[in-house]
A and B are shown apart, each in its own frame.
Chain A
Amino acid sequence: MPRRNDLKKVLILGSGPIVIGQACEFDYSGTQACKALMKEGLEVVLVNSNPATIMTDPEIATRVYIEPLQPPFIEKILEKERPQAVIPTLGGQTALNLALELHRSGILDKYNVQLLGADPKVIQAAEDRELFRNILDKVGAKYPKSHLVRTFEQGTQVGDELGYPLILRPNYTLGGGGGGIAYSPEEYQKMLVQALHESPTHEVLVEESILGWKEFELEVMRDAAGTFVIICTIENFDPCGVHTGDSITVAPQLTLSDREYQAMREEAGKIINEVGLQTGGANVQFAVHPQTGERVVIEMNPRVSRSSALASKATGFPIAKIAALLAIGYRLEEIQNDITQSTPSCYEPALDYVVTKIPRFAFEKFAGAKDLLSTQMKSVGEVMGIGRTFQESLMKAVLSLEHHAEGFPEITVVDERISYPNSQRLFHVYQAFREGWTVEAIHELTQITPWFLEQMKALTDFENGLKKSNLSTEVIYQAKKRGFSDALIARLMQKTESEIRAFRHKMKITPSFQQVDTCAGEFPSSTPYYYSTYWSQPTEIPRAERRVAILGSGPNRIGQGIEFDYSCVRGVKGFQKQGVEVCMINSNPETVSTDYDTADLLFFEPLTEEHVSEVLRVAGVENVVVQLGGQTPIHCAPGLVQQGFKIMGSDLEAIDLAEDRGRFNQICRELHFKIPESGMAQNLREAEEIVARIGYPLICRPSYVLGGRRMEVVENHDELLSYFERHQEAISARRPCLIDQFLEGALEVDVDLVRGVDWVVVGGVVEHIEAAGVHSGDSQGVIPPQRLRREVCDRVERMSQELAHRIGVIGHLNLQLAIKDDSIYILEANPRSSRSVPFVVKATGVPLVDLGVAAMLGETDAKIQSHQFVWRQRTDVSVKGVVFPFKKFPEADSILGPEMKSTGESMGRGRDYGEALMKAMLSSWMRFPEKGEVFFSLREKDKSEMLFVAQDLLAMGYTLSATRGTAQYFKSQGLECVEYKKVHEGRPHCVDKIRSGGVSIVINTTSGRQSIEASFNIRRACIDYSIPCLTESDATEAFLIALKKTREKAFEVHPLLPMQKDH
């Protein structure tokens, strides 16, 4: 059946800000679907609250709304746009839950809109665990013994019946949120309370443990006629007990026999049918007992997912695109396989390679968080390595993590790091094999399928041989086939990396580049999607006259995520518009940049100097773009230049001037720009000397850190002592501690600009809402500035331009400045596109990335007409909101500081500041309680400043409570306020009040290590119970503005305007 003719306009729901468990894979799927539907001539309306996505670029859909993903806003959009249908299957669990809400509240019926892909019945069947179990019974599938628990009392009974360990799975949460494994009754009871709370329906499935079973996932597609195909089978390296998002996985499955696999395939088909999924993609997860082969179903998701993005990248089959086409009526056999251009889409991809996915974690960002993996997802990103064999793909994936050039460096084995699942287990297992552990011993501790362990053991056995070998063609060839990096070979053979590379090139041992063609070579294909391998003959890749390479940003991590993929993808399009072909090199399977039809050539490779340079050679590329993918490509730049490649735009000298603190400060001084007083200390004594010069407060951080790692505000001598004690291993003569004057209370701004040979365009000045001291990635921000005086703002712009000229930037420059008492201080310069670029572009309409491309191509002002790009042109206000993962890290503190902790951002657009703030906060899942008690615990200096907040809240009908000092202050000012004990003052204390549900909003400002630690429990209680918790005075004021706005209940929605004139 061809496409339905009754559909003219559809609304696609996005997935909102990046959170753990729901990341940029939904930008990838949504963008792909938009493109496919636009091509079909449909009007596509898109709504997403995440500005960092490609999908929210005005060109991707007919109309783009950046609005909160909540029913009132969607209703407004439906009212305005009147689409015939909504597609809820592309925006993760957020979109599915939103669709259910829209259905239940009657909004869909009211506007006569149907759901495409999955109807409410299907969503419920897959998400409601009791309904799902009934379906499994019907098709004869087994599942772990379990009970649906609705109350704590029932829960304790169930626990006794099933025995320990137990797995808790709350209904309708994403990434296993609120769930986990309980090994003892005490642990179970504690987790049960939390889990019941986390589930929007207050239902938790308590399940007998299948720890240690093998875990599999099938990616399924089905069309309206019932044709059903498996796109990819994924096998988990980590056995059951670790969330699949946190597991190392491989595709295709490698350890099931054909009979076992076909039985699983058949069962997946039955489940999909019984659930009632009409069309689209879905996944079904299974566990298989390693000895008996008994199989149980774990869960099913009736939508595209993180794993379907992985499956698409692993096979070349565009699941989201096909899902979108199926949703509008096409059948699988009517859609041609894009890659072969000759066969239909109703087939199953055949792989002649292996892919390995490894998650990337960020435990180091959350002091106190235990690095242990369980059924609740904790990873923030992932990499994929493609190789001809498991070993080659594993080694490439490990290199893609960007932890170490050797992939597996020498470490010290810690037994617990092997026996308890954790982010470093792979590395400890590998090291253990190096030290002679047996496969049996490690299997005993980990339950990892012996096949995988044998493969790893074979690698370390090979290492031992390598240590004793002389340099020869055969030896190097064998090492490369196993995925060993030049750096690792060099260390094992006691040579240098460049010696190994020189030898390799002399002997013509270079990788072959093979196509990811969906069919194992059975049919000709012209797909430009390649991976490198040393298992095949060298291949030729057609040359092009004008071709550049863009280096991507690698795995998502805190501080470097989807924002950089936005720049990369936009950059690809920018170059293509100028008639330049682009090679994309990246290792992150979640991204739009690694979609096979984004760039002219796609190389799925680790972003190391070695792998990148091999790509450049085979693709005949001389010019490399390193300023779009964040810090990762910047790190590759010097090595690539040394090998004779050219960096486009800012050269190494300019990069160094901006990155090297000493040189940068020198420039600022030359230009007579203020910089915070600073010094470098190799030890405490030197630090004390610096303090004598600049005084407290200070910001301390070790050299060579990213995203504010180990960066702290130090307010007095005790804290300085403590800082040097806690971070002594990171501070040395070679890596001194950088000490800066801390500009307390200063207003911070981000400036993003592009400089060409004879022109500069400032893309925007983002004013931070939080005061200095909070990492720029964790601050909310606003365009245009609301507090900065116009004259000062103009000065900021002028200074930024002068700096760009002096550094010799060509292309992007991001600057961070602080303003205190109208004095402007320069804090930091990044000679590259930044995290704030997509937000700035969407807020102002200045096509900053396109301009960056023009700059890199050497365009002059005569052509660019830079004066026509004016970032203040728009009259509306845009606020950037932030999203934090504290819920996933039960031991972590939510207080903000110089170390970045947020995973994602949202955007609110409004006619005024209040509306924009409200939308941004709603989009960041902030709740605005309409009534109740507001609890204050303030540090001394904030008390008077917060007085008007308390007064306003009282006037709005809230009641006040506070810890003693704050309460007494409020009372002395004539405000009615209840007094609670601090935790150390005995019970019942304020945290008891919060945990028992008596408090609606918490305002808790504090400083100094000791008091931060003392108030930890207050913030933690708020995180656990999703109570708004403000920890900073400026943020509190902003919250109050937004809160007032929500009470007006008046808001509008507007589509994004097109970009300012294309150059």
Chain B
Amino acid sequence: MKLGYCVLETGEVYSGHWLGGEPRAGEVVFNTSHSGYEEIATDPSYYTQIVVMTAPMMGNYGVAREVWESHRLWIQGFVCVQMQASAGDQAWLERLREFKIPVISELDTRALVVRLRHGGTPWGALVTATSEGEARELAKPLIQKEKGKEKDWVFATSSKNFQIRVGQSERGPRVALLDLGCKENIVRELLPYCSEVGVFPSRTSFEKIKAWNPDRIMLSNGPGDPMDVQETVETVRRMIGWKPMMGICMGHQILSLALGAKTYKLKFGHRGSNHPVRDEILNKIYVTSQNHGYAVDSSTLPVEVKVTHVNLNDQTVSGMMSSEKRFLGIQYHPESHPGPREAQALFQYFVEQL
């Protein structure tokens, strides 16, 4: 058995078993979902991130291509306590290996999570080595290289070509979906209500979208810091008030930036399927699926924008809207996958009421 190390750029090293893949670097984050590993790994929002699962046992129920949230795995590494690798079933491990994603098991995830909770989510790398010292040496250049990567991660994960997806409601609206690293389930949730969903690359200009003549605009989720996203903020600013618009996660943050608000990095982010939110639109409190490292500073939002959704764990902004300008920003994932589906009705609200 090879030794695997999770090396943080701040100096801490955690060891475990190296189960394969190639050494890689990324931001080290943790997710508290009990299930949904395959959805998480294929969610473009995890681009450049090494995911530490707090649930100890992974791979238990195998894999299924139909739950993929995009065409590939995006994570930079996968860490857990125990990985299903029996003779009967090791499909999940094989899939990770197929994408050369480094996997470390038998690692004290609890200690690592407590470190991330205290000190925030630093860069780090998963490497295999024979000693801690060697691991540090191997990790350093990997981290440097990854940090030096082109910053507009939304662009990196967004589709590059415009694409039309046919909806199931002939009379339904045509929705322009700005792909900022979109999860497939946003599309799946929209299609039943729409006649067409036009998926636009992140750097599409306002004119191009306008030319397609959509009825509504959806801004998708996506990875990274919204401040690094180029062109999109400007495009969105021009669309405010033009057509009803909804932003999810990164889309919500871009919308906020376009409104002149500020975003900031959360200490260790929200990643899991158990975050309580007060929703003043659906008028209920429910548990949501969350995955974001940045949040919108409510004090910087224009006065006419109403904060309609609050994360009840830390009172951060979970959503905002303007009925006048007809836009809605949702910080969490009403499309779930993984996670509870209680916010699903927001899609209907977007299509039919906003």
Q: Chain A interface (Cβ within 8 Å of chain B)?
A: 225-230, 233, 252-262, 265-266, 269, 331-333, 342-344, 346-354, 388-390, 439, 450-451, 454, 457-458, 481, 514, 519-524, 535-537
Whether the pair B117, A344 counts as a contact (CB closer than 8 A) is no
**6 other A-B residue contacts (CB within 8 Å) besides A266-B341, A514-B110, A521-B117:** A260-B61, A352-B109, A389-B57, A451-B88, A523-B117, A535-B108
Nearest to A252 among chain B residues (CB) is B34
A227-B285, A343-B313, A520-B55 are known contacts. Are A256 and B35 too (CB-CB below 8 A)? yes
Decide if B339 is an interface residue (CB 8 Å cutoff).
Answer: yes
In B306-334, the 8 Å CB interface with A consists of 312-313
Contacts of B291 in A (CB 8 A): none
Neighbour of B56 across the interface among A266, A348, A353, A524, CB < 8 A: A353
Contacts of A265 in B (CB 8 A): 340
> For chain B, what secondary structure do more than half of its interface residues adopt (helix, strand, loop), or is it mixed?
loop
A-B contact count (CB 8 A): 150
Q: In the complex, what distance in Å separates the CA atom of A333 from the CA atom of B312?
A: 8
Neighbour of B276 across the interface among A256, A347, A454, CB < 8 A: A347
Q: How far is the CB of B218 from chain A (nearest CB, A)?
A: 22
Whether the pair B56, A347 counts as a contact (CB closer than 8 A) is no
Contact indicator per residue, chain B 98-119, by CB within 8 Å of chain A (1) or not (0): 0000000010111101100100
Decide if B263 is an interface residue (CB 8 Å cutoff).
Answer: no
Nearest to B114 among chain A residues (CB) is A521
Contacts of A262 in B (CB 8 A): 336, 338-341
Contacts of B57 in A (CB 8 A): 254, 354, 389-390
Whether the pair A439, B338 counts as a contact (CB closer than 8 A) is no
Decide if B60 is an interface residue (CB 8 Å cutoff).
Answer: yes
Whether the pair B285, A520 counts as a contact (CB closer than 8 A) is no
Number of chain B residues whose Cβ lies closer than 8 Å to a Cβ of chain A: 50
Neighbour of A351 across the interface among B34, B113, B287, CB < 8 A: B34
Q: In the complex, what distance in Å separates the CA atom of A1012 from the CA atom of B287?
A: 61
Neighbour of A350 across the interface among B54, B88, B286, CB < 8 A: B54
The 3 tightest CB contacts between A and B, nearest first, are A258-B36, A520-B54, A350-B32
Q: In the complex, what distance in Å separates the CA atom of A497 from the CA atom of B274?
A: 44
Decide if B262 is an interface residue (CB 8 Å cutoff).
Answer: no
Contacts of A537 in B (CB 8 A): 108, 111
In B273-317, the 8 Å CB interface with A consists of 273-276, 278, 284-287, 312-313
Q: In the complex, what distance in Å separates the CA atom of A343 from the CA atom of B86?
A: 38
Contacts of B284 in A (CB 8 A): 225-227
Nearest to B37 among chain A residues (CB) is A258
A-B residue pairs in contact (CB < 8 Å), sample of 13: A227-B284, A254-B60, A256-B35, A258-B339, A259-B337, A260-B61, A261-B34, A266-B340, A333-B285, A352-B54, A439-B88, A520-B54, A522-B32
Q: How far is the CB of A290 from chain B (nearest CB, A)?
A: 12
Whether the pair B55, A227 counts as a contact (CB closer than 8 A) is no
Decide if B26 is an interface residue (CB 8 Å cutoff).
Answer: no
Whether the pair B113, A350 counts as a contact (CB closer than 8 A) is no
Whether the pair A350, B34 counts as a contact (CB closer than 8 A) is yes
Whether the pair B108, A344 counts as a contact (CB closer than 8 A) is no
In B64-106, the 8 Å CB interface with A consists of 64, 67, 81-82, 84, 86-89, 106
Q: In the complex, what distance in Å separates the CA atom of A355 from the CA atom of B146?
A: 39
Decide if B23 is an interface residue (CB 8 Å cutoff).
Answer: no
Q: In the complex, what distance in Å separates the CA atom of A729 from the CA atom of B276?
A: 60
Q: Kindly name the residue among A252, A331, A347, A457 whose own CB sees the greatest number of chain B CB atoms within 10 A.
A: A347
Whether the pair B274, A349 counts as a contact (CB closer than 8 A) is yes
Q: In the complex, what distance in Å separates the CA atom of A342 from the CA atom of B275?
A: 13
A256-B61, A258-B67, A262-B338 are known contacts. Are A519 and B33 too (CB-CB below 8 A)? no
A389-B57, A521-B113 are known contacts. Are A347 and B287 too (CB-CB below 8 A)? yes
Contacts of A520 in B (CB 8 A): 32, 54-55, 113
A262-B339, A522-B54 are known contacts. Are A225 and B113 too (CB-CB below 8 A)? no
Nearest to B34 among chain A residues (CB) is A252
Contact indicator per residue, chain B 15-40, by CB within 8 Å of chain A (1) or not (0): 00000000000000010111110010
Q: In the complex, what distance in Å separates the CA atom of A229 from the CA atom of B337?
A: 18
Nearest to B36 among chain A residues (CB) is A258
Whether the pair A344, B313 counts as a contact (CB closer than 8 A) is yes
Whether the pair B32, A225 counts as a contact (CB closer than 8 A) is no
Decide if B272 is an interface residue (CB 8 Å cutoff).
Answer: yes
Neighbour of A535 across the interface among B36, B81, B275, B278, CB < 8 A: B81
Q: In the complex, what distance in Å separates the CA atom of A473 from the CA atom of B82?
A: 20
Q: How far is the CB of A387 from chain B (nearest CB, A)?
A: 9
Q: How far is the CB of B263 from chain A (nearest CB, A)?
A: 22
Whether the pair A333, B56 counts as a contact (CB closer than 8 A) is no
Contacts of A350 in B (CB 8 A): 32-34, 54-55, 272, 274
Whether the pair A354, B287 counts as a contact (CB closer than 8 A) is no
Whether the pair B88, A332 counts as a contact (CB closer than 8 A) is no
Contacts of B113 in A (CB 8 A): 352, 520-522
Q: In the complex, what distance in Å separates the CA atom of A139 from the CA atom of B286?
A: 20
Q: In the complex, what distance in Å separates the CA atom of A520 from the CA atom of B271?
A: 12
Contacts of B340 in A (CB 8 A): 262, 265-266, 348
Neighbour of B33 across the interface among A254, A258, A349, CB < 8 A: A258
Q: In the complex, what distance in Å separates the CA atom of A694 from the CA atom of B82?
A: 64
Contacts of B89 in A (CB 8 A): 450-451, 454
Whether the pair A536, B110 counts as a contact (CB closer than 8 A) is yes
Nearest to B344 among chain A residues (CB) is A266
Contacts of A252 in B (CB 8 A): 34, 55
Q: In the complex, what distance in Å separates the CA atom of A351 from the CA atom of B337?
A: 19
Q: How far is the CB of B308 from chain A (nearest CB, A)?
A: 16
Q: In the complex, what distance in Å separates the CA atom of A948 from the CA atom of B32?
A: 72
Contacts of B55 in A (CB 8 A): 252, 350-352, 520
Neighbour of A333 across the interface among B87, B276, B341, CB < 8 A: B276
Whether the pair A346, B67 counts as a contact (CB closer than 8 A) is no
Contacts of A230 in B (CB 8 A): 287
Whether the pair A522, B338 counts as a contact (CB closer than 8 A) is no
Q: In the complex, what distance in Å separates the CA atom of A348 from the CA atom of B285?
A: 13
Q: Kindly name the residue among A226, A230, A262, A331 whose own CB sees the greatest number of chain B CB atoms within 10 A.
A: A262
Q: How far is the CB of B121 from chain A (nearest CB, A)?
A: 12
A346-B285, A352-B110 are known contacts. Are A519 and B339 too (CB-CB below 8 A)? no
